[in-house]
Amino acid sequence: MELEKNKQMNILFNFYGELLTDKQHEYMSLYYVEDLSLGEIAEQFNVSRQAVYDNLKRSEEILDSYEKKLKIVANSQSGSELSAQLLDYAQQNYASDLKLIRMIEDLNNLSNR
């Protein structure tokens, strides 16, 4: 469960991280991207572990609220799935149309960034 939460927070952070304050962004980056512990972050910023924990929880709630309102991650994931299905369909039914296949591959690559 914790691994799934970390994965989801990393995704949300990639999409919405720039909307956080500098301190929230830094704590989230250190915790979720660089995998530092609460204690290591607290020591680096000369604050308590509780202060780091509270900041991370607030930041997580903010990222969750952005996604609930904007649904950018969900739409991106749906777009990626549809793009992959379209590529499969085109490869099966229009394999000789290399321009179409190339355009769909380019679209698929864009949605997977």
In a shared domain, residues 85 and 32: no
Can you give the pLDDT at residue 104? Answer: 87
Q: Which domain holds residue 106?
A: 74-111
Can you give the pLDDT at residue 110? Answer: 75
In a shared domain, residues 25 and 39: yes
In a shared domain, residues 58 and 90: no
> Mean pLDDT across the stretch 81-103?
90
Tens of pLDDT, residues 11-66 = 999 999 999 999 999 999 999 999 999 999 999 999 999 999 999 999 999 999 99
In a shared domain, residues 26 and 57: yes
Can you give the pLDDT at residue 112? Answer: 63
Q: Kindly provide the b/e burial profile for residues 77-98, where b requires at least 16 CB atoms within 10 angstroms of the residue's own CB.
A: eeeeeebeeebeebeeeeeeee
* Total domains, the chain: 2
The answer on pLDDT for 3 being more than 90 is no
> Mean pLDDT across the stretch 99-111?
84
In a shared domain, residues 38 and 14: yes
Environment class of 69 (CB within 10 Å of its CB; exposed 0-12, middle 13-18, buried 19+): exposed
> Mean pLDDT across the stretch 56-77?
94
Mean of pLDDT over the chain: 92
In a shared domain, residues 53 and 15: yes
CATH number, domain containing residue 22: 1.10.10.10
In a shared domain, residues 34 and 51: yes
In a shared domain, residues 51 and 10: yes
Residue 76: band (very low, low, confident or very high) from pLDDT cuts 50, 70, 90: confident
In a shared domain, residues 56 and 78: no
